[in-house]
Structure 1
Amino acid sequence: MGNIDIYIDDIEKEYNIEEEKIKKIIETVLEKCIEIEKLRKDIIVNVEIVGDDRIKEINNSTRNIDKVTDVLSFPMYEKKDFEEKLEEIYVENNIPTILGDIVIDILQVERQAEEYNTGIIRELSYMTVHSFYHLMGEDHMEEEDKKVMRQKEENVLKELGELCK
């Protein structure tokens, strides 16, 4: 597997899931995404787990949206440039490829898990998959794009099986 860096912000342990479990879920999900998409093994993805204040700050500074959100994705490549980078991502060339950064608000994920009655593991898994596909250039602004992205997300969650039920 490639390099998955997971940093958990010091949010005074306000959340109800152990840090090691968070890391294991994210690593497992990203490894499955990379396997399903048949990407080479030296992909780099950085993940930061934060609380409400930090994600609101990042959301405001990067998108001018002054509110809490569940997840933010920062792809290394713009969608228009992504196609050119596909060969680099799929072909072994001994040069690691950075897909981008993911920032997840674990407190918002917990609230959504309760709201949607999905459970924290499934919700965290979904947010990770969703972010991964944004890093891969997927979008859900248009209805057809949304269908494609949702199908890919559900395929990964299905492959993960019991982890995401």
Structure 2
Amino acid sequence: MNHQINIGFDTAVEDEQAVAGLIRTCALRVLESENVPFDAAVDVTVVDADAIREMNAEYRDKDAVTDVLSFPMYEFYNGEPQEELEREPDSGCVMLGDMILCYTRACEQAAEFGHSPARECGYLTTHSVLHLLGYDHERNDADTRLMRAKEEDNLTFLGLTRDREA
């Protein structure tokens, strides 16, 4: 498959190239592990706390900083499309949606949870792409367990463990 992960930065990040590479690797891993049978695209924007707070307030009526937001283009249910998918004319890819990642919040959470910023960014990317594919940890207990297992399987495959060494 020829999946496209388009990454833009609307905030300063110490090593933009490394962060972009990590996000791309994690997003591609999820698409591969889910056996997405079409060329897919995801647009990722890395933002600061103020920007994600504004988006969270506007789109979710939650006036608070959050770590990641997912905006799916299509309705999926646990990896299965629930509607007809259309390829973008220019790329030939199906645009799955947008991911907005707050890098500053990711780094804060990494420190809180006792693991690396890379592990936290990897987790948030994995989490968001799964949301774009219709997995939802808030739907019911079974779906929460399923999504958490898929997150951990992908992160373990990539070597992004919970310890500080990752």
TM-score bucket of the superposed structures, by smaller chain: 0.7 to 0.9
CA distance in 2 between partners of 1:41 and 1:156 (Å): 20
Consecutive unaligned residues in structure 1, runs of 5 or more: none
Structure 2 unaligned runs (5+)? none
CA drift at 1:79: 4.3
Q: What's the secondary structure of 2:115's corresponding residue?
A: coil
Deviation at 1:35, TM superposition (A): 1.3
* 1:44 aligns to 2:45 (yes or no): no
* Residue equivalent to 2:157: 159
Q: 2:108 aligns with which of 106, 111, 122?
A: 111
Partner of 2:144: 146
What is the total number of aligned residue pairs between the two structures? 155
CA contact (8 A) 1:29 1:125 kept: yes
After superposition, the CA RMSD in angstroms is 2.1
Please report how far the alpha carbon of residue 59 of structure 1 lies from its aligned counterpart in structure 2 after TM superposition: 0.5
**Residue 3 of structure 1: aligned partner:** 4
Contact 1:4 1:47 in 2 (8 A): yes
Match 2:30 to one of 29, 33, 44: 33
**Structure 1, 140-149 or 102-111: larger mean CA deviation:** 140-149
Matched residue, 1:69: 66
Identical amino acids, percent of aligned pairs: 35
Determine which structure has the larger helix proportion and give its number.
1
SS at match of 2:7: strand
**1:68-147 to 2 correspondences below 5 Å:** 68-79=65-76, 83-85=81-83, 95-141=92-138, 142-147=140-145
Contact 1:73–1:102 (CA under 8 A) maintained in structure 2? yes
